[in-house]
Amino acid sequence: MTVRILREGPAGGASNMTRDEALARQLERGEIEPTVRIYGWAPPAISIGFHQREDDFDVPELKRAGIDLVRRPTGGKAILHAHEVTYCAVLPLSYGAPRLLYLMIHEALLGGIRSMGIPAELNAEDQDLRRAYATTGGIPCFSTSVGSEIQVAGKKLVGSAQRRFGRVVLQHGSFLLGAQHRELARFVRGAGGSPDNDIAASLTARTTDAESILGRPVSFNEAANALAEGFEQFFAHDPGRLDGDITAQAPGARRTLAGLTA
């Protein structure tokens, strides 16, 4: 059981989501090997789940802040992609059922994250996702957890979503490096069109990030290399077949996001 590792730099929201879906369809057609892609975002973007509504978000304010709004090919809920490392895994169902693949991917991520000195673990309990989706507070991905997600001290560190393409599973998700993802609340319309303060409180209470845990800055390169090594080790990947390299930290990952507080 092997995977190809693609380590790529930052790209815009539409390009990233198109790339992820294209990999899934290429694998489904037998054109590529099972693949893990590790990448960043520039400019920052909010991605929304396949069934979410764009009008839940303040599009003019997003444009003023220089933040993209893009729809993911997977389900799940909204994420502000800023200072993070994102992964995409496209794997055949011959490797396992979707739920097993979900667990395998998170085990690979866990190995990489722990190698950074982060005491991460897989949570065991599910929340009522139907009820979460029925509330405004359920708009952000990181407001809820499902079984086998990666947490530290009960707070979510990685958010993931999955979708089947024929006999292939696409799963992608975000490893949070800093707290910028919490600024999502600024762009969600609550009652009367004002930002939803409950979302900000929920993200603060339910999420954590690598920098907060380690008490130091964490670069895109450091985290991306750790995730790549986790996948390589888990899937017994031949290091000589790696594609690409990480040459620089994602631009703007640690700076203020168009006026947002870092």
Q: Which residues are catalytic?
A: 141
| Token duo for residue 222 | 């450091």
| Token duo for residue 179 | 């707290």
Label residues 51-71 b or e (16+ Cβ within 10 Å = b): ebeeebbbeeebeebebbbbe
- Measured between alpha carbons, how far apart are the two ends of the chain, in Å? 40
Dihedral sign, Cα of residue 250, residue 251, residue 256, residue 258:
negative
Nearest to 174 by CA among 84, 106, 113, 96: 84
- The Cα 90–Cα 3 span in angstroms is 9
Q: DSSP code of 32?
A: S
Helices (H), 40-139: 59-65, 98-114, 129-133
Query: Which residue type sits at 165?
Result: F
Contact 11, 251 (CB under 8 A): no
